């Protein structure tokens, strides 16, 4: 690992990330003021200014996301694992034995070089909530462009401000960029350099464990497909929750239409993400993945949203308008529960 270059990249991430956070936090405070103005007075100027603030915040998120992309590219260039010939033979022997046991032997899966690099996705550790909020900010822009009811725009913008606060205080990706990952790399490097406390056999064990985590987590092709689909779905389904809240107070068709449209998008991505995650789970965890708490709660969430979409067939019947609103709120509760599940319950998805 090129310590100087990667430390420079981390410091630049922290510095530019800090300035970005300061900038869109200031914009968020102004946006919050205009959200309340939109609620208490019908003024087109307030709506326009609120919309422009939302566009600006989303734009800054986009620019900062490019900074995260650059940082991950620096990791690819400067953080690597150098294996000895015996390590390569040991890993290839284990991989070949596993693949032949499964009847899926593929020579291209074997190591071809003594140097392996990290191809880390853009939504791990604290970056995952950032990506969720980035997707939500894009949907907020679309709502401000297309929605007719100003109260919908105001509430969507309010949620944008609230999520920025949650991100800043709980999951700031620029405070310690990929701290857990770099902790793992430093721990591995320290152990491999310590010939007093660790035998050659122990070092080979550390090497295989590190390689296994790299192959099935950091470098897994599914990590570039499965998680982002779910985070986009979460952002979309948040819009459905906001519309469900308004459905309690007024029987306005636009509330239901917007909520249903975003529920369809979120449900499609959620379903596709679950299906794509299945082969990854089998490959990485074998047959013991099914009772993982996160997977069980995700299936529960999927069933709730299935019910929400089917309820629309009976929306014209008595009491179903408010029942749909209640179900929309419950669906959002299951989504939040599913997300925080990984932090509090032990399982394959534990962060």
DSSP labels for 47-62?
Answer: HHHHHHHHHHHHHHHH
What global pTM score does this model have? 0.89
pLDDT at position 283 is 66
Is the distance from CB of 288 to CB of 332 less than 8 angstroms? no
pLDDT at position 24 is 83
The alpha-carbon radius of gyration of the chain (Å, integer) is 23
Task: Give the angle subtended at the CA of 111 by the CAs of 106 and 117, to the nearest 5°.
Answer: 125
pLDDT at position 94 is 76
pLDDT at position 291 is 65
> What's the CA gap between 188 and 184, in Å, rounded?
6
pLDDT at position 155 is 93
pLDDT at position 102 is 64
306 contacts: CB under 8 Å, gap ≥ 6: 267
**Percent of the chain beyond pLDDT 70?**
91
pLDDT at position 91 is 76
pLDDT at position 270 is 93
75, 79, 93, 142, 337 from 118: Cα distances, Å: 7, 7, 21, 35, 31
pLDDT at position 237 is 95
Q: Which helix (H) or strand (E) holds 197?
A: none
pLDDT at position 350 is 55
Residues of the chain with pLDDT under 50: 351
């Amino acid at each position: 690992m090129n310590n100087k270059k990667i430390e420079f990249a981390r410091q630049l991430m922290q510095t530019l990330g800090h300035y970005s956070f300061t900038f869109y936090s200031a914009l968020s405070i102004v946006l919050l003021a205009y959200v309340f103005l939109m609620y208490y007075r019908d003024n087109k100027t307030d709506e326009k200014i609120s919309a422009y603030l939302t566009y600006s915040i989303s734009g800054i998120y986009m620019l900062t996301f490019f900074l995260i992309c650059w940082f991950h590219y620096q990791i690819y260039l400067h953080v690597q694992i150098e294996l000895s010939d015996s390590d390569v033979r040991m890993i290839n022997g284990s991989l070949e034995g596993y693949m032949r046991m499964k009847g899926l032997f593929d020579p291209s899966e074997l190591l071809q070089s003594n140097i392996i690099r990290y191809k880390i996705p853009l939504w791990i550790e604290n970056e995952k909530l950032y990506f969720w909020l980035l997707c939500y900010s894009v949907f907020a822009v679309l709502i401000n462009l297309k929605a007719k009811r100003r109260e919908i725009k105001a509430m969507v913008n309010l949620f944008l401000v609230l999520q920025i606060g949650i991100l800043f205080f709980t999951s700031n990706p620029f405070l310690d960029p990929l701290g857990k990952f770099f902790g793992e790399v430093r721990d591995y490097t320290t152990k491999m350099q310590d010939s007093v406390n660790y035998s050659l056999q122990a070092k080979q064990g550390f090497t295989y464990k590190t390689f296994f985590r790299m192959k099935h987590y950091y470098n897994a092709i599914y990590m570039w497909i499965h998680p982002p689909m779910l985070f986009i779905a979460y952002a979309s389904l948040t819009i459905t929750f906001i519309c469900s809240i308004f459905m309690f107070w007024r029987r306005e068709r636009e509330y239901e239409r917007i909520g249903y449209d975003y529920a369809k998008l979120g449900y499609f991505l959620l379903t596709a993400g679950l299906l794509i995650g299945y082969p990854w789970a089998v490959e990485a965890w074998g047959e013991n993945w099914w009772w993982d708490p996160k997977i069980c709660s995700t299936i529960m969430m999927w069933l709730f949203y299935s019910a929400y979409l089917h309820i629309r067939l009976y929306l014209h019947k008595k009491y179903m308008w408010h029942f749909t609103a209640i179900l929309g709120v419950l669906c959002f509760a299951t989504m939040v529960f599913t997300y925080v599940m990984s932090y509090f319950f032990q399982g394959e998805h534990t962060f």
